[in-house]
Every structure is written in structure tokens, then in C-alpha cells.
Amino acid sequence: MRLSVLLNGLTDETIPDIEIKSMTNNSQQLVAGCLFLAEQGIHSHGLDYLSDADCRKIGAIVYQTGYDISRFSNYRHKMIGVDKLNEKVSAIAKRFYQPQLGQALIGVTGTNGKTSVTNFIAQLSGYGVIGTMGYGDIKHLNELSHTTPDALSVQKILAELSSYCDGVAMEVSSHALALHRVASVAFSVAVFTNLSQDHLDFHHDMADYFAAKSKLFAFASVNTAVINGDDDYGYRLAKTAEKNGKRALVFGQDERVKHFAEYVAVSNVKLSAQGISATLSVHLADYQGTEQLQTPVWGRFNVDNVLAAALALYATGQSLSDLLRKASALHGVNGRIEPIDLGANTIAIIDYSHTPDALDNVLASLREHTDNKIYTVFGCGGDRDKKKRPLMAEAVNRSADIGIITDDNPRTENAADIIADILTGDIDKSRFEVIGNRRDAIRFALQQLSSGDMVLIAGKGHETYQIIGTEKTHFSDHEVVREWLAEQER
């Protein structure tokens, strides 16, 4: 593609008349004749990493203005400055990769539940996914480093997925929205799951966090908003969406969901070892009636997640009744309230819950399954929101019998300092143990179980690594449980 086409309307500078066959924003992936996009990041600029040899190799350099380019005087003929390039990379990449999907693109945002909703969408429809667990079809996922990749990678992945998936459901993080990673992604349907404290190391406060999430619903391409009306932020968002002329499909158990033109009211929620069920009072533009939801996944909150997935697909033109029937064949998501039968009437639950609200919800659901003891192994990530650490302990204190505090990706922080922060919560410390080594903590919890007891192993879910310092080493909660179980069976 000609460079002039890629940058049309994005800069007033002279654009070299050259053909671009590849592009990158990673200085370690440069190839001869490529286009290098040099953005201003949070801590550095893309031009910081270019050597003379790199500049000789590159076909053209598009850089974010405001950077002193005097050291690049020999390569000025290759350089094109673009104001606010980081806001325009998505458009440039879309022009280059030209993703073409046959079905509506669905974006899912919220603090908790994004992975489950996108996974349920994929199970119900054959959609591909992009998110925390990777991208691709759900049986063959490619690893990602971020929930929502950078702007260039998003468009490249969408183009790849369009070759074998009709539609895509994407997890859209608040970081992605704040940093313009999805600025030119043509979402048709936007889903809001819930909002609770997280990422306040990045966002100034909850208002800033909500403002970032809300951006998805302001996209001109979004025609339908699927929103959890039980959530206070969701209720506000649904009101705004309706006011702005968007179709709002609101669901929940609170009576206020009936304030909207189109809604699904949830009642009679029941949990069992076989899964969850609920009665749905449906009031949509083309269908009013009563439906039953019956699905073999655990967790009261999964009523919301399954319903969000079904309504998102309904918004693309599929039959809600058919989708709810298909929900009877859903399976749980790896590392999301995932039960492992330990024998002797004991169960381990592996879950990704790493926010206070997620822990509250998972523990509340587990409490409905047992009157016996619930042990909870948990920790908090290093170099992340410190304010939520004591709140995590308080969530465990409310609904679990015993909390076992351990390491969970301490990164460059001192693990003991993280645990000390957790212990500042308003908790009964006599019901908490501290075992820093995560393997030892899990094994300790498993050894305590008596008939009818459960252990929740929280925070990592599907992850297969532990980050200590800057080094990522292999670690799997699943493997620790299964190794322990194999030892008991010998």
C-alpha cells in the first residue's frame, strides 16, 4: 500500500511516494523497507530505540511530534511527523490490514466477567475472541501480553481472525480505551458487565475509571448497548446510551431495569451442583414473553454473564429463544469458578478473581453451595493498585472461614510489603494464615479440607506463570492441585 494512502488526512507534512509492505511499532521487529510507527508512550518515545543501522533499514518513519529529531538529520527524508500519532495508529493499521468480518463486532467491557462473556459468545455462535486468555477460536488460542493488545496488533489480529471467523467478541479494557488502542475498531454492539475498584494505579479515581469505560458506548459505530442494570454505573450508562439514541438492552434483577424501553428482568435464580437456572421476563421490541435459563456453569454472577452474551448475539440478529436453548450446553471457562473434584466430598475452585468485588461474588456463590468451611488462597499483584489490597482481605473475611495470604505476581515489589498491605484490612487476623510461597500455600489449604469443605484458589485462574521481579517463570494453580491429588491417590 502507498504511504500516501496510509497517511491521507493525518498530516500536513510531505509524504514520500513509497510502497509499504510491512509495518511495526516495535523496534525489535524492523525489516528492510518497513514503516516504523514511533509513538509517544507513558515513559518513552519510539524514536528512543532507533539506531543508525535501524534508520538505514527502515523505509519510512512516522513519528509522534514533540520529539527533538536533530540526531536523525541524515534520515530526515524518511521521517513524517504526525500530531497525536498514538490516537491515529488504529486508523493507519486498519487501512493497512483491512479486516473484513462477516458478522457484527462485539466489544465487552467492565471490571469483571469480560472473559466469561466473550467465551460464552464464542460457544453460542462460533465467534472468535480477543482477550485475557488470548485470541483465536476458543479451542485454539494464541497468547497475548495484554487483555486488549496495542492499536496496530488489534487490527492485525482482526484481519487474521476474519480469515476463519465470521465475527469477533473482544474484551475492551479501560487501558485500551484511554490509550486509543481501539479508536478505529468498528464495534456494532457494546457490552457492559459491571464496575468496581481496580486499576486505580492507572486511573485517578473511580470517576476516571468509569469515564474510560464509557468511551466504548460513545463510538459512532455502536448501535446497541447491552448493559447490566443492577450495577449503579451500568444504570447510569444505560440512561446515557438511550439519551444519545443508542438501542439499550438492559438486564438484571433490580426492578429499575423495567425503566427502559427494552429489558430482560431476572428472577427465581437457583444454584445447584448441576449449574444455575433463572426465570427471564423478556420485554424487547420484537418479542415479549417468559423464558427459562438453564445452564451447567457455576456462580450466581454467571446468570449475568450468560445473559449478556445471549443479548449481545440477539443484537446481531439471532433468536434469543434459540440462544437460551443453546445455553443449556455451555461449559465453564478455564480458570473461572472452575471446580476440581478432590474426592472425599471436597472441592477445589480455581478462579481468576483478583478484585474485591470479584472475590465477594465468587465467595457468595460458593457459600450457597456449602454450609461447611471455605478456605481461600489469595494475594495481590505487585506494581498494581495498592488501595485494593486491604479490601481483598476484607472480602475474604466476610465470606470465607479461613484466608491464606500468598504471592500473586509480586513483580518488582517486595512480596512481604504486599502481604503487609493486605493485612491492614479490617479483618479477624486469627482466621488468616500467611504462606508466601504459592505452591506451599495451596498445598497447605488442600491438606486442611474435611468432608463438605471447599478451597477457593483465587487470582491466577488460567495463568501459567508467576512474575517475580521482571522474570516470568512457569507456575500453574491447576498443576499444583492435580499434583497434590495424584499424591493422595498413590
Selected from 2.40.50.360, 1.20.120.80, 3.40.640.10, 3.40.1390.10, the CATH number assigned to the domain covering 3-87 reads 3.40.1390.10
Selected from 3.40.1190.10, 3.30.360.10, 1.10.287.70, 3.90.1640.30, the CATH number assigned to the domain covering 99-329 reads 3.40.1190.10
- How far is Cα 185 from Cα 456, in angstroms, rounded to an integer? 37
Q: How many CB atoms lie within 10 A of CB 140?
A: 10
- Does 202 have pLDDT greater than 90? no
Q: Which amino acid is at 136?
A: G
DSSP string covering 352-381, please? ---SHHHHHHHHHHHHTT-SS-EEEEE---
CATH class for the region spanning 338-488: alpha beta
Q: Residue 200's pLDDT is what?
A: 65
Place of cell 527533538: 68
Buried b (16+ CB within 10 A) or exposed e, 424-439: ebebeeeebbebeebb
* Stretch 105-128: mean pLDDT: 96
Domain positions in the chain: 3-87, 99-329, 338-488
Q: pLDDT band at 203, cuts 50/70/90?
A: low
What pTM value is reported for the model? 0.86
- Does 201 have pLDDT greater than 80? no
Burial of 13 (C-beta count, 10 Å sphere; 0-12/13-18/19+): middle
For the stretch 311-344, pLDDT in tens is 999 999 999 999 999 999 999 888 988 999 999 9
Sign of the CA dihedral running 270, 272, 334, 355: positive
Q: Residue 205's pLDDT is what?
A: 86
Q: Across the chain, what does the average pLDDT equal?
A: 95
For the stretch 257-307, pLDDT in tens is 999 999 999 999 999 888 999 999 999 999 999 999 999 999 999 999 999
Buried b (16+ CB within 10 A) or exposed e, 108-132: bbbbbbbbbbbbbbbbbbebbbbbb
Q: Which amino acid is at 181?
A: R
Residue 21 in grid coordinates:
509492505
Given a contact cutoff of 8 angstroms between Cβ atoms, the answer to whether 442 and 481 are in contact is: yes
Q: pLDDT band at 199, cuts 50/70/90?
A: low
Residue 332 in grid coordinates:
465453564
Q: Which range among 184-188, 313-317, 345-349, 486-490 shows the weakest confidence by mean pLDDT?
A: 486-490
List Cβ neighbours of 334 (8 Å cut-off, separation of 6 or more). Answer: 133, 461, 462
Q: pLDDT band at 145, cuts 50/70/90?
A: confident
Given a contact cutoff of 8 angstroms between Cβ atoms, the answer to whether 356 and 436 are in contact is: no
For the stretch 14-28, pLDDT in tens is 999 899 999 999 999
Q: Which range among 4-13, 111-120, 141-150, 207-216 shows the weakest confidence by mean pLDDT?
A: 141-150
Q: pLDDT band at 206, cuts 50/70/90?
A: confident
